[in-house]
Amino acid sequence: MPAKLPSVSQMVALLAAGAAYAGLAYATPRADFGQLVGLFAVALLAYAWLLRSRLPWRWGLAAALLFRLLWLPATPALSDDVHRFRWDGLLVAHGVNPFQFRPDEIIADGARAAVRDEAQRNRVLPQLQALYRSLNSPHYYSVYPPVCQYIFGAAARAFPTSETGFVLSLRVVILAAEAGTAWLLLALLPALGAPPERALRYLLHPLVVVELVGNLHVEALVVFFILLALWLLSRGRWAVSGLALGLGVATKLLPLLALPLLWRRLGGHRFVAYAAVSLGTAALLLGPFASFELFANTSRSLSLYFRSFEFNASVYYLLRDVGYRLTTYNEIAIIGPALAGASGLIGLGIAWRERRPTLALLPHSLLLMLTAYYLLATTVHPWYLTLLVGLGALTRFRYPLVWGGAAILSYAAYRTTTYTENLWLVALEYLAVFATLATEIYRGAESKK
């Protein structure tokens, strides 16, 4: 039987989304918030209609691929993180540990401490000096774990003097991860009794297309590794699943939160072995970068993250306001770590209180755990939420889709060089999120009566 063709309205929506992505990729500076949010809204409305009208999933897969390929030659215009990716990559390519030196330290001494060979230093220093002017965090140590560093280093070796080549290399890696994610979603959904069309919730979501493929954020790899770990667990291959989760941890530390959920699912002895494989994999990949400076600087960076950084938060901003009223100071140094501890306790509580700790319900529990983490976080960049969108595709919840769409409002902060947030827009974002979440929880409770 031939595949069902899209309707006229679906074709119009696909074309509108494609035009919006082209505008975002090639004609929208980050500071132009009106144009950015307008084009994103077009893509988001098209996405909502395509899901509501049940676009045939094979056509959805083709559209997801084409939307991503639209960005292939584009230089990220909505994020400047790529400059730090290239900075770290150039250091790795020249044998320098990116966790050992801050960019300002390297520039201040002409890279003499970092690159001992004079000929090598003379080659790389002009590129570092040019990049330095574009870095958004020159006074902080690198926060990108080893898998990221290996990828950055490989791209910098392949294209040592070409930013375009470096960007293209990263985008190919991201596209490969996204292709793997598409395959895994289509493999996992039937096992969960869900239709394949549910994969389009992730694959066509504008936040995923813009932030992962467009802005080259490594969350694409994290989503892939977590889904790979889930799929391998569903097939009884727990040891290889531990390896996949370890790769996720070595890409971004957040997948560590999944471990408590596996204790009752795997049993004591198997869980210990699983955790050893995961943590051992991450430690092995970290080995080439290991040094006293690594642990000291990483600890310093994590402390800064919880005690100093704030962006697009929800619960934290409410508590910050209370702190101002009580002490007249920003109490982030107290509130940030306290909220991080609270999210950890909530995660352990979710793991402990699960009524049916089955593998089928693992995506559901992990989604709730990560939701609690981000609701209590002091910093929630939009691309962080792509992991929730990916896990949400494996559950009945739709609030990650709403959150991912509303998070674009946080780009209002980039209208000026001072990066001042519009707290009314932040409030609007989280009002939509909490309203959707509350509605879904209420309907779920009603359906169980």
Same domain, 331 and 436: yes
pLDDT exceeds cutoff 90 at 301: no
User: Measured between alpha carbons, how far is residue 156 from residues 69, 129, 141 in Å?
Assistant: 22, 16, 19
375, amino acid identity? L
Same domain, 233 and 323: no
Same domain, 324 and 442: yes
Is 71 contained in some domain? no
Is 10 contained in some domain? no
Is 341 contained in some domain? yes
CA distance 297 to 44: 40
Of 233, 261, 291, the residue at which a domain comes to its end is 291
Is 316 contained in some domain? yes
pLDDT exceeds cutoff 90 at 283: yes
Residue-wise burial string across 290-315, b where 16 or more C-beta atoms lie within 10 A, e elsewhere: eeeebeebbeebeeebbbebbebbbb
Same domain, 331 and 257: no
Is 186 contained in some domain? no
Quote the pLDDT of residue 144. 93
pLDDT exceeds cutoff 80 at 300: no
Band of residue 308 on the pLDDT scale cut at 50, 70, 90: confident
Dihedral in degrees, nearest 10, Cα atoms 26, 27, 33, 39: -80
pTM across the whole model: 0.95
Band of residue 204 on the pLDDT scale cut at 50, 70, 90: very high
Average pLDDT over residues 63-81: 95
Contact predicate 404/385, CB 8 Å: yes
Same domain, 242 and 321: no
Quote the pLDDT of residue 303. 75
pLDDT exceeds cutoff 90 at 121: no
Contact predicate 383/217, CB 8 Å: yes
* 446 or 124: which leads in pLDDT: 124
What are the tens digits of pLDDT across the range 14-59?
999 999 999 999 999 999 999 999 999 999 999 999 999 999 999 9
Average pLDDT over residues 207-216: 98
Same domain, 373 and 267: no
Residue 34's closest CA among 303, 425, 433, 417? 425
Same domain, 254 and 365: no
Contact predicate 265/359, CB 8 Å: yes
CA distance 183 to 65: 12
Q: What is the C-alpha end-to-end distance of the chain, expressed in Å?
A: 41
CA distance 308 to 298: 15
Of 291, 319, 349, the residue at which a domain comes to its end is 291
Nearby residues of 292 by Cβ (< 8 Å), 6 or more positions away: none
Same domain, 283 and 341: no
Same domain, 329 and 260: no
Same domain, 314 and 238: no
Is 103 contained in some domain? no
Structural domain range at position 246: 218-291
The dihedral through the CA atoms of 285, 346, 301, 135 has a sign that is positive
Band of residue 290 on the pLDDT scale cut at 50, 70, 90: confident
Same domain, 321 and 374: yes
Number of domains present in the structure of the chain: 2
Band of residue 67 on the pLDDT scale cut at 50, 70, 90: very high
pLDDT exceeds cutoff 70 at 449: no
What are the tens digits of pLDDT across the range 382-424?
999 999 999 999 999 999 999 999 999 999 999 988 889 999 9
Average pLDDT over residues 120-128: 87
Is 333 contained in some domain? yes
Contact predicate 110/101, CB 8 Å: no
What are the tens digits of pLDDT across the range 336-365?
999 999 999 999 999 998 888 998 999 999
Average pLDDT over residues 176-204: 96
Quote the pLDDT of residue 405. 97
* 316 or 122: which leads in pLDDT: 316
Backbone angles phi, psi at 418, to 5 degrees: -85, -5
Is 183 contained in some domain? no
pLDDT exceeds cutoff 60 at 128: yes
The angle at the Cα of 55, spanning 360 to 215, to the nearest 5 degrees, equals 75
Quote the pLDDT of residue 447. 61
Same domain, 320 and 235: no
CA distance 184 to 404: 21
pLDDT exceeds cutoff 80 at 444: no
Q: What number of CA atoms fall less than 13 Å from residue 65's CA on the CB side?
A: 11
Quote the pLDDT of residue 59. 95
The strand pairing partners of 379, in sequence order, are 311
CA distance 430 to 375: 9
As to burial, measured by CB atoms within 10 angstroms (0-12 exposed, 13-18 middle, 19+ buried), residue 37 is middle
Average pLDDT over residues 146-162: 96
Mean per-residue pLDDT over the chain, rounded: 93
Please give, one letter per residue, the 3-state secondary structure of the chain.
CCCCCCCHHHHHHHHHHHHHHHHHHHCCCCCCHHHHHHHHHHHHHHHHHHHHCCCCHHHHHHHHHHHHHCCCCCCCCCCCHHHHHHHHHHHHHCCCCCCCCCHHHHHHCCCCCCCCCHHHHHHHHHHHHHHHCCCCCCCCCCCCCHHHHHHHHHHHHHCCCCHHHHHHHHHHHHHHHHHHHHHHHHHHHHHCCCCHHHHHHHHCCHHHHHHHHHCCCCHHHHHHHHHHHHHHHHCCCHHHHHHHHHHHHCCCCHHHHHHHHHHHHHCHHHHHHHHHHHHHHHHHHHHHHCCHHHHHHHHHHHHHHHHCCCECCCHHHHHHHHHHHHHCCCCHHHHHHHHHHHHHHHHHHHHHHCCCCCHHHHHHHHHHHHHHHHHCCCECCHHHHHHHHHHHCCCCCCHHHHHHHHHHHHHHHHHCCCCCCCHHHHHHHHHHHHHHHHHHHHHHHHHCC
